[in-house]
Every structure is written in C-alpha cells, then in structure tokens.
Amino acid sequence: MCVPRTDCYRAEVQLRVERPDDRDAVGELQRRAFGDHGGAVAKLVDALRGTITSELGLSIVAEDGGEIIGHVMFTPSLLDAPRRLVDVQVLSPLGVASEHQGSGVGSALVRHGLAAAADQGTPLVFLEGDPGYYSRFGFTPGGDLGFRKPSLRIPDQAFQVVKLPAFEPWMGGTLVYAEVFWRYDSVGRRDPDQLPPPADIPSSHSGPLGDPQRGCAAAAPEGIPPRVRSNAHQPPSRQR
C-alpha cells in the first residue's frame, strides 16, 4: 500500500503497511530515533502489534530504496462514552530516522494513517504529543472538546484528539488506553523528583509497574526523545 507522491518528500519514498520481515528494521529505527528510550519504544511497538486487527489499527512504514526510514502505529483503544464504549485509535509511536527528520516523512506517515483510520470507520484518534507539531493535522487539545484524559499525569495541551467523519456528537467521555500502554509504562509524565507518599497512605500511583526510572514514547514528533511516562493502573476490560 503506497500513497501519492505528493504525500512524501521524494518520489522514491513509499508508505506501506508493515510486513513481518520489516520488524527488525522497525525495531532498530525506533531504538535510534528515540535515543536513550529507544529500547523501551521498540518493546512497546512489538507489544502493540498484537492489538491490531484486520478491522482496526495499522502499522505503517516509510521505505526509501529498500531502507525503512520512518514508522508510525495507530492502535485500538476505547472511549468510555455515556451511551457505550466506542472503539477509537491512538497514534503512538511515530519515529523517523534522524537523517530524514524535517523532510516531511513524519507528516506523510501521520496523514496516511489518519486517512486509513477514517476508512476503517474510526471516529476519533487520540495522542500525547507536541501541539505545535500535531495541530497541522487537525489535532486539538482533547479537554477543550470535553474529552477526559486517561491519567492526570498527561499535560492538558499534550492530550490531543482529531475527529474523523464517523464521529457523532454523543461520543464524549474518557479515553481508556489499551492495556499494553499501561503494561509498558507509556502513559503521561513521570516526575522523578516527586517523593513517594508515606507508607501508611495509599497511593493511586503505586503498583508493580510504577518504577519512575522506566518510560517510553507515546507520540513524540518524528523521533524527538520522549517524556518519561508511568503506569498508574490498568484500564477496565472492553465491553460491548
């Protein structure tokens, strides 16, 4: 699957669905693109692949002369709306090889993924990231539109959403990240200087995955080193 030439900075660059034989190259790309956090991002990508189905989600690569130079994932999560749970998608992570950053590869990946998500009938795509970068694709702060973020550790301006054609006005509520994001400590910001609560006071931020030294990316622009994120709790299971 490729996109028109106008979506990429050179005609030779193709965007297509990731194949099984791309996985090693994608992992290496994410490790290089995200620096010190690259190993955690690569593990997150491996786990997120298992959430993608034929009907929801996509893993897309940018290929130049047989080399993988960019990668983005759109994976299923849920919106806890008053009427019912709604299938939505999360853009995370987005990585571009350092020598190709600023060339339009990341923008092409995002635009192509949003078009594919719309074709799948997804009403909303959420992310955590820089509003100065993602606003060009139509993303706006979710709180401004009445959506609630899944963790208080996500900065208000970083919690962003874009509405796609399948959106209906009743679709409001709280974003519930897929379990994988919590398992890999990839939600919100971690403050390593924050003192732990006294032992006799329960903490909503404690748990087996609440290590402040762990973290990975949820949607940093084109491989910019990500914020450290933490796991507060696991989300409820999906219901119909």
CB contact at 8 A, 142 and 159: yes
Strands (E), the chain: 13-17, 58-64, 67-80, 85-96, 124-128, 140-141, 159-163, 174-176
Alpha carbons within 13 angstroms on the beta-carbon side of residue 66 total 0
Tokens of 207: 């748990």
CATH-assigned architecture of domain 5-192+202-223: 3-Layer(aba) Sandwich (3.40)
β-pairing, 85-96 with 124-128? parallel
- Interior CA angle at 51 toward 136 and 39, to 5°? 75
Output the pLDDT for position 93.
Answer: 96
From CA 220, how far away is CA 92, in angstroms rounded?
8
Per-residue pLDDT of 212-230, as tens digits, reads: 222 233 444 444 333 323 2
CB-CB contact of 105 with 10 (8 Å)? no
What is the signed CA dihedral for 79, 82, 85, 89, rounded to 10 degrees? -20
Indicate the pTM of the whole model.
0.78
Could you list the mean pLDDT of each consecutive 10-residue stretch along the chain, which spans 240 residues?
A: 44 90 96 92 96 96 96 98 98 94 94 97 97 96 97 95 98 97 90 56 28 33 36 34
Tokens of 57: 């989600």
pLDDT at 69: 97
The pLDDT value recorded for residue 218 is 41
Q: What is the pLDDT of residue 199?
A: 43
Assign 14 to helix, strand or coil: strand
pLDDT attached to residue 194: 63
Q: Tell me the H-state helices in the chain.
A: 23-33, 38-48, 105-119, 131-134, 179-183
* Residue 189, pLDDT score: 83
pLDDT the model gives residue 73: 98
Q: Which residues contact 12 (CB under 8 A, 6 or more apart)?
A: 64, 65
Residue the block writes with tokens 């990585």 = 95
